[in-house]
Structure 1
């Protein structure tokens, strides 16, 4: 006699291939449209499901977990970041949390390089000229940007994505510098020809490009605050494809408006979709709608990791990508 299938609730639309495979394996409840679940829908989901599959747009806090039913035993997050989940409370209630690390490394690193090039070579400004029909022909001084070869790149957070960016930047002829909680092993440093800075302040003051790649934690909130942004050279630019809260967005806007920072490329924002309107008006700021991981291949691989985590849990084993509070 076959055992009853796990009840799985998915909070957002996922790629069709992922939804199909979930339906084959589990008793799954999928979304009809691509809107985030309301708080009421999330409460209903945690009361009834064995497994919840949320995304970064869902807040799985202590209040929600307090209303979870006895059946909820796994939160299989569709995404690598879990700052949207109260992992400690989940653990106290006997609910495991898993994520999908590693699969988006190359996609995010590619987008980081795209932003560095877009800001330094003024690509959106050129695009705007063409779209408006204002181009009158080539001119020696028109839309002059800067060459990235030979410039110093300061990587803030040298994890998987930071290292992937460093390797790409090195291929473009950039000089790689980094600040990290822990210094990399000497052989990795040598391979990337990366220079370690124990002092973030000292690194920031000397870089031509700052690229942010650290997670959102209490210690990284406004790590690039007004004081630190003031240390940047007026010719330097900053790029962020990690978490918006790491940069003080208002302070960044003020410094770019006053010409004290040359530009920025952002894929994430401090207040989610509520982007500072003054930031949107600046021609030397490139803003993207959280597209860093947006490749079909990457999103399907994320789904495959979710499925493996759920299937391993169903078979009575520890999910391979289990998250515990000590990791955060």
Structure 2
């Protein structure tokens, strides 16, 4: 008998067909809206869940007594209670590798767009305000040769460092839990304390996950350490940053500009002060949003889920403790 999978993210016809070959599938459209009731109704029969961008807390998962595995179409796992999943022996998997290069592309696009004031000046052309040659009041800043500071030197951080070092001749500084000699050798990168990096870097880029330790990591004190010409880039998670402190730093000229793909609240409220600032480039969480990468992420998630439901260890298992419980049990 096939196991039952509750899918709360649409798949391509090819991937949907593959999943249906191995499982009975219930697709829930828009689980954060009207579909939430359908999701709750489907959970008592679920052996597997596959989707993204939905917080799966204990009250919700308590409705799924047969649940064996959750496959997230994402890298971040801040929507999941790992302790709860471990206690129940529910396997959680993610898609960490396939979006690395695309997300780094997004990060560097934000670096270029903020430094050269691309959005602001493109809007000037679009609205008919370009009346004469561009003067100093509209000049941007160079990117090549400037110091790139990366906070969180994981896969995406390394991909960003590669672009800066080899493509733009940027000295690279980084901060992480511990020094990484291989990174230093490859990119001639320098390890710094968080405070030193904030003071030295021209571009400060966040590429670290949201955890209890990183939530609110960058606030008023950290922005005060940055220089007036610093440009701040966030492609990690919105809650790593104290957003009111960021707004104040931009309004008061403590930093030059910000390129933001993530926010404390998503979608970003229409009355956010960030939308009134010309020195902000804001994008709607598009880090991995290309046709190729999203399909690769979905394929990875399907692979992870089918492995778990077949009694195999998923390639991208997040919580090995739950696997240990399954094996020992």
**TM (normalized to structure 2)?**
0.92
Alignment of 1:1-328 (within 5 A): 4-32=1-29, 38-56=35-53, 58-69=54-65, 71-141=66-136, 143-170=138-165, 171-184=167-180, 186-197=181-192, 199-275=193-269, 277-324=272-319
Q: For each residue in 1:206-251, what CA deviation from the matched residue of structure 2 results, as whole angstroms up to 9, or x when unmatched?
A: 1111000110001001111111111110110100011001111100
Which has the higher mean CA deviation after the structures are superposed, 266-275 or 10-19?
10-19
- Equivalent residue of 2:173, what SS? strand
Contact 2:68 2:309 in 1 (8 A): no
Which of 1 and 2 has higher RCO (CA within 8 Å, sep 6+)?
2
Q: For each residue in 1:51-102, what CA deviation from the matched residue of structure 2 results, as whole angstroms up to 9, or x when unmatched?
A: 011312x111112122222x21111111111110112101211211111111
Contact 2:28 2:35 in 1 (8 A): no
* Consecutive unaligned residues in structure 1, runs of 5 or more: none
- Equivalent residue of 2:92, what SS? strand
Number of residue equivalences: 320
Contact 2:72 2:93 in 1 (8 A): yes
* Consecutive unaligned residues in structure 2, runs of 5 or more: 323-329
Q: How many Å separate the matches in 2 of 1:108 and 1:32?
A: 26
**TM (normalized to structure 1)?**
0.92
Q: How many Å separate the matches in 1 of 2:93 and 2:9?
A: 17
Q: In proportion to residue count, which structure has more helix?
A: 2
Q: How many Å separate the matches in 2 of 1:114 and 1:142?
A: 23
Which has the higher mean CA deviation after the structures are superposed, 4-13 or 27-36?
27-36
Which has the higher mean CA deviation after the structures are superposed, 310-319 or 215-224?
310-319
CA-atom RMSD in angstroms:
1.9
Which has the higher mean CA deviation after the structures are superposed, 143-152 or 308-317?
308-317
Return the offset for 1:36: 5.4
